Amino acid sequence: MSTSLKSHGATAYPKARRMRFRFGAPDPKNRHYVQGDIVMSHLVALLSSAFPPGEESFIRSVRRFSDRITDPVLKKRVAGFIGQEAMHGQQHRELNDQLIRMGYTLVRIPAFGADSRREQAVIRVENLIPARLHLAGTAAAEHYTATLARRLLTSPELQALPGDPEVHNLLNWHALEELEHKAVAFDVYRAVGGTERMRITVMLLPYLGAIPLVSLAVALSIALDPSGWHPIEVARQAVDVLRGPLVKGLTAEVGEYLRPGFHPDDIDTEALVRHWQRELFGADGELLDRVR
């Protein structure tokens, strides 16, 4: 597919918005910030914890091919992608610091900073992986996050969840930008000669393993949270999450990526992107006062 401006419409040049969210001091009485939902609180916390190191890795995977991107439109889209992902990591780190102070123990594990020994170890491992394989992993992860983003932004039930309003703002902003740049890593992968076989094979691991792995992590996180030891309530909430709009049918949607010839723009999200651009950053946008 062409990487021309016309072919990508609203998502042609992802805009890197410099955001500053206002996370208040942790409230011990409001530990489960998705009010009344222990499982969803731990799920969001674990997803947030994974974003900074994941997105920094995504940026590195694309930068490994920076000298091979010649299309000027794709170059601009890559710049927007990098700016957005860097800001996502920064803002989620701030949220993660709050979550750690609130006692979300597992959030500490991926919470290593730039130039830390753990990050350098991750970079060494990345450099041992073929560059196209690393980029294929990024393209697969971007499809997964774009699918979750689309679900969040189209579900009245998820939008109506009671909880911390600033966490809600952060997630909506992040979801919008995931849709704005959903095809960038994919298009870089194609532009540098990535094969369909590798693209599809690399997706099989998250396709088959993401929900079981995240479910185990959420169960462990709750087990480490004494205030979450309400087995009947947690079991009921877990069923609600699995049957709810975030997870039910997710594997089938993600599986669209496994179709030969698939492109992220086959799933039309332009109207959705434009709607949320207006809602969050239009003339009376909800988040204009969070932009630096």
Residue 26 has pLDDT above 60, yes or no: yes
Q: What is the pLDDT of residues 201-225, one digit of tens each?
A: 999 999 999 999 999 999 999 999 9
**67, 65, 189, 64: which is closest to 136 by C-alpha?**
189
Residue with tokens 């990526």: 257
Task: Report the DSSP beta bridge partners of residue 19.
Answer: 291
Confidence band of 113 (pLDDT split at 50, 70, 90): low
**43, 58, 205, 56: which is closest to 118 by C-alpha?**
56
Contact in structure between 53 and 175 (CB atoms under 8 Å): no
Lowest-pLDDT choice from 117-126, 154-163, 261-270: 117-126
Q: What is the pLDDT of residues 129-161, one digit of tens each?
A: 999 999 999 999 999 999 999 999 999 999 999
Q: What is the pLDDT of residues 164-199, one digit of tens each?
A: 999 999 999 999 999 999 999 999 999 999 999 999
Question: Residue 5: what pLDDT?
Answer: 40
Q: What is the mean pLDDT of the chain?
A: 92
**Gyration radius of the chain over CA positions:** 19
